[in-house]
Amino acid sequence: MAQLPPPRIRIGTRPSPLALVQAEMVHARLKAQFPTAELTIVPIQSEGDRQGSLPIAEIGGKGIFIKALEQALLADEIDIAVHSFKDITSAIPAELEVIGFFAPESSQDVLVANGKKLNELPAGARVGTGSVRRIAQLARVCPGLQCVPVRGNVGSRVNLVKEGSVDAVILSEAGLIRLGLTDYIDEVLTTPDFVPAPGQGVIAIEVRRDDRAVIAAVSDISDHQQGEISRLELQMMSILGFDCQIPLGIASRAHLSGVEMDLFLSDRSGGLVWREKRVLAAEDTNAAATWAAELKQWGLAHGIR
């Protein structure tokens, strides 16, 4: 017998402008698929939102953006949690599961620099980013630039450039697309020099493992091919255990033989790098785990942990 859709779905999200847009995207798909369901968006402030001026590493790493949503799921205050995939850590509570995935409009980084390209920025130009991955990759391509830490939502980071507080910022292209801010993009930063964060731009949906009706509903609106890609990336992250303080990038795309994964792992300076591309069979989590174990062993041997 087919699983009946739930009569009510409470959609948990962070309150930032981008997070709310992403929650609306989930809401729209659910409404189209289940027009009679009562759908509510529930904004929940995360620790990362409350302490927006402090470096992420000082307040608990990237898990600070999803912990409050996971607690709300466990307390039955919401039925699904909408995340940016790149905020997910390997420490997902046993009672919860990430099962829904929306493919990104783009997974690339972009430069916002008041009309300049990366190679037009002068030596010593201040580039706003707190991402250790972006800092390491910039150091390899443009070592004369000065990276300065920035926090805040997408719009506030764009404003830092407009106001002259920094000369440029690096952001996710998908975020700018969703917020209608693409006019500020001066350059798309592509591979091989710039490898995005694992799952960059992907919208992920987390649910309670025992909530069958909600699981069925989310499965109905999820992108199947993106799910294959994201589950391989999740498997790798669960083995690696790396948080946002390790320069790690993975650019994944569908391939005739499964999933092509283009990987970048380095030390904080960008001087020591593992760079490799592999094609894994879809759903072959064992191959993903084996590769991740190799990477972890190499990283530990070189002080990358």
Sheet harboring 38-43: ordered strands across?
38-43, 8-13, 80-84, 203-208, 96-102
Quick one: pLDDT at residue 14? Answer: 96
- pLDDT tens-digit readout, 31-80: 999 999 999 999 998 765 555 554 554 444 455 779 999 999 999 999 99
- Just list the catalytic residues: 87
**CB contact at 8 A, 266 and 247:** yes
**CB contact at 8 A, 285 and 291:** no
Q: Which two tokens stand for residue 248?
A: 């790690």
The CA distance from 7 to 136, in Å, is 48
- Mode of pairing for the β-strands spanning 168-172 and 126-128: parallel
What the chain holds in terms of domains, given with CATH numbers, is 1-102+201-222 (3.40.190.10), 109-189 (3.40.190.10), 223-305 (3.30.160.40)
- Please give the model's pTM, rounded to 2 decimal places: 0.91
- pLDDT tens-digit readout, 108-167: 999 999 999 999 999 999 999 999 999 999 999 999 999 999 988 999 999 999 999 999
| pLDDT, average across residues 266-294 | 92
pLDDT at 286 over 80: yes
| pLDDT, average across residues 263-282 | 93
**CB contact at 8 A, 188 and 108:** yes
Quick one: pLDDT at residue 59? Answer: 44
Quick one: pLDDT at residue 1? Answer: 45
In this structure, the number of other CB atoms found within 10 A of the CB of residue 148 comes to 16
> Higher pLDDT residue, 244 or 215?
215
The number of residues making up the chain comes to 305
Quick one: pLDDT at residue 243? Answer: 64
**CB contact at 8 A, 257 and 281:** yes
pLDDT at 238 over 90: no
The CA distance from 27 to 33, in Å, is 10
The CA distance from 78 to 22, in Å, is 16
Q: What is the mean pLDDT of the chain?
A: 91
